[in-house]
Amino acid sequence: MRDPRLPEIALLLLIAVLIALGAQPVLHLLAANRLLGTIVLAVALVAAVLAIRRAYDPASPTVRADVTKYVAYCVAAALALVTIDWGPHWAIRACITAAEVAVAFDIVTIVARPRAVGG
């Protein structure tokens, strides 16, 4: 019986590889077109904050993991915004690392999720 979580995990692993290989050129492209980059990343930051609010359900048994996962994505978006708007030398690597950590944490939460019955 095939685990339905495997395709989701495989796609997240692919995203992690793409982040590792292509995040730096994308950040440079956004920095070169600062207005567009700022708008795109501000929208991503707002979406991440809204995802945190949506994930916060005190009755859910996985509320801590869900909120932490979206906070990790929020930090990655905030660091990307810092990278393109202010450009400190440490920000590019910090942004890429935060995005990788967010994806890795997402994978961990999927692995920890119970298998679907009958799936």
pLDDT digits (tens, 9 = 90+) for 38-57: 999 999 999 999 999 999 99
Residue 119 lies in a domain: no
Contact of 52 with 70, CB cutoff 8 Å: yes
Residues 84 and 38 sit within 8 Å (Cβ to Cβ):
yes
In a domain? residue 21: yes
Packed helices 91-112 and 63-85: angle between N→C axes, nearest 10 degrees: 160
Query: What average pLDDT does this structure show over 66-83?
Result: 94
**Residue-level pLDDT at 89:** 87
- Confidence category of residue 29, pLDDT binned at 50, 70, 90: very high
Residue 43: give the domain boundaries.
Answer: 5-112
Confirm whether 57 is domain-assigned.
Answer: yes
What pLDDT is recorded for position 113?
Answer: 81
**Stated pTM of the model:** 0.86
Decide if 117 is inside a domain.
Answer: no
Count of domains for the chain? 1
Question: Can you tell me the distance from the alpha carbon of 118 to that of 1, in angstroms, rounded to the nearest whole number?
Answer: 9
